[in-house]
Chain A
Amino acid sequence: MQLIACPWCGPREEIEFSYGGQAAVAYPADPASLSDEQWARFVFFRDNPKGPFAERWVHSAGCRRWFGAVRDTRTYEFLSVGPLSATTARTSVLPEATP
């Protein structure tokens, strides 16, 4: 069980958090203009890398705020955490992974 550093609350037990999958998947500006294929990509397809992965997490049993993280899916280690950008969160640039 991990200790996850909520950007607002500090380190908390993993059970307080919920996983939100891949970060920076933008809701399409105009879904109606997308092909079925393009729409399916948005709805169902997410990256699944073995290694560092930019993700969204939410501190469900704490401040209830979403944040971004880069985590290594091999070791589960959080490489960095930070707030989602103030504007277009899914498209936002996530905090850089610290090597």
Chain B
Amino acid sequence: MTHAGTTAPTTAPTPPGADLPEHQESLWRSAEPKRSYDVVIVGGGGHGLATAHYLAKLGITNVAVLEKGWLAGGNMARNTTLIRSNYLWDESAGIYEHALKLWEGLEEDLGYPILFSQRGVLNLAHTEQDVRDSVRRVEANKLNGIDAEWLDPDEVAKVCPIVNVSGDIRYPVQGATFQARAGIAKHDYVAWGFARRASEAGIDIIENCEVTGFVADGDRVTGVRTTRGDIAAGTVALCAAGHTSVLLDMLGVPAPLQSHPLQALVSELLEPVHPTIVMSNAVHVYVSQAHKGELVMGAGVDTYNGYGQRGAFHIIERQMAAAVELFPVFARAHLLRSWAGVVDVTPDASPIVGATPYENVFLNCGWGTGGFKATPGLGWAFADTVAHGRPHPLVAPFGLDRFVTGALVDEHGAAAVAH
């Protein structure tokens, strides 16, 4: 932990970029679409690529990943890269913890330096109810075998000295949960690593190929129509995140999804100042410092539906106010760039994964702000689901039918910021 100060540091900081990995010489083949595949994955983001990778591990390689734009150019390129598994409910903890375990071995699996850095996440509590909710989640995590701690304000300051834990802020920090195994990874590299492996396995990655319709025969879909021609499909796996509703509308399958802009931003490159990840609900902050030194922040969701990949500036301003409130040292940092993704949110803030009314179409969507951290876990379980034609137990609780039965997995209340 290097303290920021106006005096020169005792040792010169490592030049940012000096320790960045060299990229692989070969990433993926840009394939021309074939006429037919066993599995067509719609959406070449993290989830689609991870699903392809794990399908290949199951021996299923006659697979196409269709991406309407540039590979992993949607939320995968726009997210703020937090990885954690400290969710309240058993169902959520199950899939996210499985994902985290996969993250822990992913560099090796992919043979790609994804800069996975387990630096821990603090979820700050600011009110008595925050404290209750936090303790509840920590205790649940422990019983589920997930590392979790409750820290008092002094302990918070030890983990992250730049958090203002004094009483002189509007909503003083009452403590925090801490998951030490949480971390960040370089999102682009993760996507490229999956793409590279899938491509090596013979899976076709097809960019600039937008799905414009489906060919249905009774309760089966026999193919997809695309801007690059019709492609027959044995099984279709939807991994289109914020654009899922557009696809489901083509299929006539309703789903409780709403697509919202979600903004994020970075500062200029700064010497190391922030050793962990901090999230706060009441004072909405989600911030980490990336490898090169930029502060990466996730803002709140813009409230209205929107596919525009941009949001309103007052959200950013509010984000800055919250950041400076909790981290006075950030006052002098500069906003360098802001952007937005399109997140698909569900009524219970949990994903929808599993079957559709079409027996060979499987759905994966509704991850809201939490999709990145689930990437390998979802890919693994969804590949299994697609391969065996039934929901894997890890995703079974997240079926569409829960909205009918009422068996929701409600992560609103007690799961802190749903990033």
Question: Which A residues are closer than 8 A to B by beta carbons?
Answer: 1-2, 14-15, 18-19, 21, 36-37, 40-41, 43-50, 53, 55, 71, 73-76
Contact = CB atoms under 8 A, between A and B. Distances in A.
B328 interface: no
A48 B304 contact: no
A1 B307 contact: no
Interface string B303-328: 11111100011100000000000000
B304 A76 contact: yes
A48 B258 contact: yes
B305 A53 contact: yes
Contact of A36 (B246, B259, B312, B405): B405
Contacts of A74: 306-308
B258 to A, nearest CB: 5
A41 B243 CA distance: 20
Interface string B33-46: 00000000000000
Contact of B347 (A37, A44, A48): A44
Contacts of A21: 258, 305
B278 to A, nearest CB: 26
5 contacts: A1-B312, A19-B305, A36-B405, A48-B257, A49-B249
A53 B337 CA distance: 30
A46 B347 CA distance: 10
B403 A50 contact: no
A50 B243 contact: yes
Contacts of A15: 314
B69 interface: no
Contacts of A46: 256, 258
Given A36-B405, A48-B259, A75-B308, 6 more contacts: A1-B312, A40-B404, A45-B256, A47-B245, A50-B246, A73-B259
A47 B255 CA distance: 8
A2 B315 CA distance: 12
Contacts of B255: 45
Interface residues of B, number: 24
Contacts of B243: 50
Contacts of B258: 21, 46, 48
B304 A45 contact: no
Contacts of B246: 49-50
Interface of B: 243, 245-246, 249, 254-259, 303-308, 312-314, 344, 347, 403-405
Nearest to B318: A15
Nearest to B304: A19
Nearest to A71: B304
B306 A73 contact: yes
A36 B404 contact: yes
Contacts of B344: 48
A42 B254 CA distance: 12
A12 to B, nearest CB: 13
Contact of A45 (B249, B254, B307, B405): B254
Contact of A76 (B245, B306, B403): B306
Nearest to A37: B404
Contacts of A41: 254
A8 B34 CA distance: 57
Contacts of A75: 308
A57 to B, nearest CB: 8
A15 B316 CA distance: 13
A67 to B, nearest CB: 14
A93 B249 CA distance: 22
Nearest to A48: B245
A43 B408 CA distance: 13
A11 B344 CA distance: 29
Contacts of B259: 48, 50, 73
A73 B307 contact: yes
Contacts of A45: 254-256, 403
Contacts of A71: 304
A43 B258 CA distance: 14
B247 to A, nearest CB: 10
B308 A1 contact: no
Contacts of B249: 49
A42 B58 CA distance: 40
Contacts of A43: 347, 403
Given A44-B403, A76-B306, A50 B245 contact: yes
Contacts of B405: 36
A24 to B, nearest CB: 15
B344 to A, nearest CB: 8
A31 to B, nearest CB: 14
A41 B306 CA distance: 22
B303 A18 contact: yes
